[in-house]
Amino acid sequence: MLAHAVRSYLSTRRAVGFALKEVGHHLRSFAAYSDARGQRYLNAQTAIEWAGQVPSVHQRARRSADVARFARYLQAEDERHEMPPAAFGRERRPRRPPYILSDEQICRLIELAAQSGYRTLRRQTYSTLFALLSCTGLRVSEAIRLRHHDITPDGLVIRATKFQKSRLVPLHDTARAGLDRYLQQRRPYAPFDDHVFVSLRRKPLLITDVETAFQTVATKLGLPTGRGRRHPTPHSLRHAFAVRALQNCPDGRDRITKHMLMLATYLGHSDASLTYWYLEAVPELMRSIAERCEAHLAGGAS
């Protein structure tokens, strides 16, 4: 039956750094569905039927793709396992263009966070967090997992993120000073928890906490909110950092290549294409690329 093969597959992939939480849930569900039908080998039609049980076409495509990768693994040992077709289309949706906040908007967001709500640690928590996200490009999940020992003389140690990789993020002196000021206020508030950022519950922040606080100040600033339209989120602070870094990219092919590689490493991207995506997603960067192309062609023609 397939349940044992699923355990072996997940164990193999997790050993090389994949978390596979959702994938594991999908494959165990598929194995149970297949085993209930007495099928010893992976059957393509059964896979399509199982993937089609959810209402969303995108989720069907995701489930089908998970089974297809599993089938590829099984076929290496036994060709009697069938490869399910991509019956529900592409697994990944096209990435939406990021909402890029201006420097002025970021400053106002931080100021409003420092004034939002009651006069409690909450004000310092979110103003410091938003400032840190803006000047380091951290993911929200990385920032809220920071602990006191992750702040070192060399910068922030971001531990075991995607693919279990860790990285060091340097801190500017002003950022370090701001973080130190916050910690002086925060330590007496929750002395038995070593997370850098804590909520009024004296527990580590949740992503939903951060999203709610961000939307509150974004609304006060008059930025677009709500589903169905492009709007800023806490992740927009990371996007803004990446765009600023690309706008400051030096001229010269070799220098640009090194700059992109360093930025991809700094941001913790598992694939450099995730960094290059900003070039095509931001009109200002595309305009700059077009202008440089035209200048190069004009120079070559002369």
Q: Which pLDDT score is estimated for 243?
A: 82
Q: Please tell me which of 2-16, 92-106, 247-261 the model is most confident about, judged by mean pLDDT.
A: 2-16
Calculate the average pLDDT of the chain. Answer: 86
Give the residue-averaged pLDDT of 266-290: 67
Q: Which pLDDT score is estimated for 163?
A: 56
**pLDDT, tens digit, 9 for 90 and up, residues 15-52:** 877 788 899 999 999 999 999 999 999 999 999 999 99
Task: Map out the domains of the chain as residue ranges.
Answer: 2-75, 106-232, 238-301
Give the residue-averaged pLDDT of 186-197: 91
**pLDDT, tens digit, 9 for 90 and up, residues 43-78:** 999 999 999 999 989 899 999 999 999 999 999 999
Least confident of 137-146, 182-191, 259-268: 259-268
pTM of the model: 0.70
Q: Which pLDDT score is estimated for 301?
A: 46
Separation of alpha carbons 212 and 195, rounded Å: 20
Q: Which pLDDT score is estimated for 30?
A: 97
Q: Which pLDDT score is estimated for 302?
A: 39
106-232 CATH fold: hpI Integrase; Chain A (1.10.443)
Indicate which residues carry an active-site annotation.
139, 162, 235, 238, 269, 278
Give the residue-averaged pLDDT of 79-89: 91
Give the residue-averaged pLDDT of 171-193: 93
